[in-house]
A and B are shown apart, each in its own frame.
Chain A
Amino acid sequence: MKLTVFNGSPRGKKSNTAILLEHFLKGFMETEGNSYELEYIVNNKDVGKLIEMFKDANNVILAFPLYTGCMPGIVKSFVESLKPLCGKHGNPSVGFMVQGGFPEAYQSRFVERYLGKLAKRLNCQYLGCIVKGGIEGTRMMPQFMTKKIFNYFYELGKNCGKSGKFDEELLKRLAKPEHLPAWRRLFYKFSRLTGMANIYWDRQLKENNAFEKRFDRPYGD
C-alpha cells in the first residue's frame, strides 16, 4: 500500500501532529511492501507540487491540529487549492487525523463532519477520521501515559497498513474521552482551585519573564 501524508500543522516538523504521525507510520510500515511520502503544508511555497502529489496519490492522509474548532487557516488554503480536482475520477482515497488540545474528542466531531463531506466533494473514497483530544498535554505527561496514546496510533497505522482502512473499534477506544466524565470534571475543578491546572502555562510564562504580564489587556479593559 502506498500512502501520501500531508502534515497540516502550522508548527510543521516540531508539531504534536508530527509525533502522532510518526507512530502511525511506524505501524503502517510493518507490512512489507508498504511505502509512504510525507509533506508539510506550512511554509510550502510550491502549492502546485502539493496538488500534484494529491492527484498522483493512491491513498492520502491529511493530519492537522484543531484550531478554534476546525482546521487551521493554512489547511483551509490547501483544501481550496484542491478545488480543480472536485468530482474528477481517479482521485485517491482519503483519510484524516485531527488532534486537539482540549481533552474531549467531541470538540473535533464537527470538523469531522466537514471532512467526510470534503471527501465526497473530491469524489474520494473516505477512509475515516482519527480523532484524539488532549494532545497538547502530552508534552507534560509521564511517559507511561504517552506510551499508551502513541501505541494506539502505532496500532491504527499497523492495521491500516494491512487492511487499507481505519479500524473502527480502535478509533473509538483512542478517542476516549468523548466527553469529560464526572470524575474528571471534578478533578479538573479541584486542580484549578489549587493552581495545579495552570502549572503548564505558568512555568513557561515564568521562563519567559512574562508571568507578571499574563493578564495584560493591550486593547482596552
Chain B
Amino acid sequence: MKITILNGNPDNQKFDDYLNNLVKMLELSDNRVVHFKLREMKIRHCRGCFGCWLKTPGQCIYKDDSHAICREVINSDFVLFATPLVMGFPSAVLKIAMDKLIPLLLPYIELVDNKECHHEKRYDKEYPLIGLLIEKGDDTDSEDIEIVSDIFVRFAIDFRTSSRFVMQTDIPVQEVSDEINRI
C-alpha cells in the first residue's frame, strides 16, 4: 500500500520519534511510505484566490512544496494526518497544508448523497482513505477529541473520501501500524 504521512508537528521531538517508529513498522510490512515533515517545508498559506481552479487548473499558482504534497496524496492509498493538538485542535502547520489540497478538487459543486453541496473530484480514481493521529495536549479533554473527530469526518466528506480512524499516540505504535495495515 502506498501511504503518505502529513506530519503537522510544530516542534516536539517525542511526536516525531513516534512517527519515525511508525514509518519503520509500516515499511517492514511492505508499505511504501512518504513522510512529510511539514514544518520543514515551504508552504504558502492558501489565499483563496481560486487560481488552482481558474488559472492553472489543478495546481496552486505559487510554486511551493504543496505541489509535491498534492502529487503524493492523490497517488496514495492512504493518507495519515498526524498532529499534536494545540489549543484543542490540529496544528496550524497541518491546517495550512490541508487548505492547500483543494487543487485536487474541481470548482464545480455537486450534491453528495443527494443532500449536501461539495466540490467534485478532479481525478477519476478513488481518493485515498484518510486517518487522523493525534497527540493530546495538557489541556485536552474528551469533548475536544469529539469535536476534532467530527471536524475530521467533515474534511473527509469535502475531500470525497472517508475517514478510517482517529487514534491517539498514547497507545503503542504497533497498534496504529496494525490498524493501517487492516485498511
**Contact check: which of B75, B116, B117 meets A220 at CB < 8 Å?**
B75
Measured between beta carbons, the chain A residues less than 8 angstroms from B48 are 9-11, 15, 65, 67, 72
Among B27-35, B101-109, B167-175, the stretch that binds chain A is B101-109
A70-B147 Cα distance, complex, nearest whole Å: 11
Contact-residue bracket for chain A = 35 or more
A102-B119 Cα distance, complex, nearest whole Å: 9
Q: Is the CB of B106 within 8 A of A214?
A: yes
A221 at interface, CB cutoff 8 A: yes
**Contact check: which of A65, A68, A117, A189 meets B155 at CB < 8 Å?**
A68
B95 at interface, CB cutoff 8 A: yes
Contact-residue bracket for chain B = 35 or more
**Cβ-closest chain B residue relative to A213:** B57
Measured between beta carbons, the chain A residues less than 8 angstroms from B89 are 70, 76, 79, 114
A192-B106 Cα distance, complex, nearest whole Å: 14
Q: Is the CB of B147 within 8 A of A114?
A: yes
What residues of chain A have their CB less than 8 Å away from a CB belonging to chain B? 9-11, 15, 42, 65, 67-74, 76-77, 79-80, 82-83, 86, 102-104, 106-107, 110-111, 113-114, 117-118, 121, 179-180, 185, 188-189, 192, 197-198, 201, 204-205, 208, 210, 213-221
- Extra A-B contacts (4), CB below 8 Å, given A205-B54, A210-B54: A68-B102, A70-B95, A180-B117, A219-B75
